[in-house]
Amino acid sequence: MAGEQPEPRIPLKIEEVLMAAAMGAMALITAANVVTRYLTNVSLAFTEEYSVVLMVVVALLGTAVATARGRHISIDFFVGLMSPRRRQLAEAFALLLTMLCFGLLVVFGASLTWDEYRYEVLSNGLGTPNWWYTGWLPLLSLVVVLRAAGRLVRVLKGQAA
């Protein structure tokens, strides 16, 4: 868990502001749907398409922040039994794999976005070009990779516990 660790050099505030905005927008869109449905004849149901994309954005930005702080769900029981040196190596290993996993999502997510662009895929509800939505996957996965790399450097320097 975090708290006492030094913050990364590129402040997490960037992701935090964006994901707070996305989270707030999701809540407001949903609330607006309920209010308009019961009080007016206007339907905002189409906005649900945006909410779902905002959720994907929140998921990946939240992942980036949690990666930088080492807060992801993992079994730390066995690692906890190791010596400090080994624990450090274990975390470096985990971060390398995190970079690999999200690196794959950068590359093949970009490929998916490209396919949706050239096949002219439209969204189900509003008929918007779908790559506007899917494109967030490779883009924000790249943010996760960079955050993992930053933490890896800090772990190897012995700054992050």
Answer yes or no whether residue 101 interacts with another protein by CB under 8 A.
yes
* Identity at 97, one-letter amino acid code: L
3-state SS, residue 105: helix
Find the shortest distance in angstroms from Cβ 19 to another protein: 4
Which one of 7, 11, 93, 159 is in contact with another protein (CB under 8 A)?
Answer: 93
Which one of 11, 14, 74, 158 is in contact with another protein (CB under 8 A)?
Answer: 74
Which one of 10, 14, 72, 158 is in contact with another protein (CB under 8 A)?
Answer: 72
Rounded Cα distance, 35 and 40, in Å: 8
Helix and strand totals (H; E) in the chain: 6, 0
- What residues numbered 11-70 form the site for another protein, per CB under 8 A? 16, 19-20, 22-24, 26-27, 30-31, 33-34, 37-38, 41, 43, 45-46, 48-49, 51-53, 55-56, 58-66
Answer yes or no whether residue 94 interacts with another protein by CB under 8 A.
yes
Answer yes or no whether residue 146 interacts with another protein by CB under 8 A.
no
Of 103, 96, 107, whose CA–CA distance to 143 is shortest? 103
Neighbour tally for 117: CB within 10 Å: 15
Answer yes or no whether residue 152 interacts with another protein by CB under 8 A.
no
Beta bridge partners of 122: 129
Of 65, 68, 63, 67, whose CA–CA distance to 6 is shortest? 68
Answer yes or no whether residue 134 interacts with another protein by CB under 8 A.
yes
